[in-house]
Amino acid sequence: MAQVSPLDVVIFAPLAPVFGLLLFWFIQLLFIESQKQLLGKLGKDHEPLIRFTNFIGIFFQTMCHALGYTVTRSGISRFYLSVHYGHVDPKKEKSGLFEWVSNGFLFVGPFFIPPLLLLVCLYFLIPDGIVFTTNVTYSFSENLIVFGSNLYVFSLHFFSFLFSIDLLHPAHLGFFLLLILLGLGIRPSYIEKKSFKKVDIFYDLRNIKDHLLHHPVYVILFFLFSYCFSYVSLLFDGNWYVSLFSLFGWVSIIAIVALVIAHGLLLLVRISDELPETVRWIPFLVLIISYVLLRVLFYILPIPYITSVSLVGMLLITIGITIFLFNRYTNKFKTKKKMKSKKTRQERMDDGPRRLVKP
């Protein structure tokens, strides 16, 4: 092993997985903001969908706050949840560190706790993907490499599972539906019904900043605890510290994938809005029927990688039908040409005499 600087081991090495996690979390925040912009462009015709996504976000946020009170043993005396607002009252009002921790669950928890539940589901679906690198690391670069290696192994198994998911299998279908719910409602679309106050990336970051600066001593204690945990892991030749941050990195990957899938569904909704009401539902119906028909076809005529080919075929057929309908009903040049060729009887009668008039 190459010579490692003591300063690197003591000061910089524990920061490597922290920086890696912050990078993935920032990507997650950007996808959340992009989705909220997309929801805002859907218009009033899809207000039920927007209200539903807002309710899911409020639900995740309120449950995380309730979990924070449970962890700090404050208890829960009142739990209120609606489409526009969620609130939890503790049985015991605690201040100081306990209040700071419970508010941390409220402001940061929704980004990690809901996808963590999906990670538990993945433990039973892809157990080979939930593994940690056991190499003992000392330096900043080694910690960063191991962190990236853990994320790579998990991502490889996770994407392999998604590309071969069997939507006719109850467990696979249930996980996929939960993944869509997570992507649609990982954060509320808006709060406060009367003022319709937007919850954007700056709103989230401002709340987190105020939460951290309100008690800077606790932030310093948190970093000291993290450093001590890193030293203990190193002392016992373990990789617990990097593994813990790798776990949160897996959670961010699940959230990002859920947001990408939700983006695809919302884009399909927005494209279908351009179609006439009589055919607006066809892309969504094709999405389901094409998959079922392909699975039946490949059951009769077996081929390798049936589930993967069915997924690809479903997407290609849906995209092709959507493009065809979009060009068929939204081509403005063809529409103008048809309108010019269709003249009323009165217009033709008016044109007749004018052709007889000589200059």
Whether 329 and 213 map to the same domain: the answer is no
Among residues 272, 307, 322, the one where a domain terminates is 272
Whether 185 and 326 map to the same domain: the answer is no
Q: Which residues of the chain have pLDDT under 50?
A: 1, 333, 335-346, 353-359
Specify if 267 maps to a domain: yes
Q: Compute the distance between CA of residue 225 and CA of residue 23 in angstroms, rounded to an integer.
A: 22
Specify if 351 maps to a domain: no
Chain segment 16-40, per-residue pLDDT in tens: 899 999 999 999 999 998 898 888 8
Among residues 212, 238, 272, the one where a domain terminates is 272
Whether 180 and 309 map to the same domain: the answer is no
pLDDT at 321: 93
Specify if 277 maps to a domain: no
Whether 328 and 202 map to the same domain: the answer is no
Whether 17 and 70 map to the same domain: the answer is yes
pLDDT at 3: 66
* Nearest CA-CA partner of 186 in 66, 31, 325: 31
Whether 95 and 144 map to the same domain: the answer is yes
Whether 256 and 324 map to the same domain: the answer is no
Whether 265 and 298 map to the same domain: the answer is no
Whether 214 and 309 map to the same domain: the answer is no
Q: How far is CA 212 from CA 35, 206, 348, in A?
A: 26, 10, 76
Chain segment 106-134, per-residue pLDDT in tens: 888 888 999 999 999 999 999 888 888 87
Q: How many domains, in total, are found in the chain? A: 2
Whether 268 and 318 map to the same domain: the answer is no
pLDDT at 204: 74
Among residues 246, 272, 298, the one where a domain terminates is 272
* Nearest CA-CA partner of 107 in 148, 69, 64, 144: 64
Whether 196 and 222 map to the same domain: the answer is yes
pLDDT at 335: 47
Domain interval for residue 10: 6-272
Specify if 354 maps to a domain: no
pLDDT at 198: 61
With b for 16 or more beta-carbon neighbours within 10 A and e for fewer, the 309-340 pattern comes to bbbebbeebbeebbeebeeeeeeeeeeeeeee
Specify if 193 maps to a domain: yes
Whether 268 and 298 map to the same domain: the answer is no
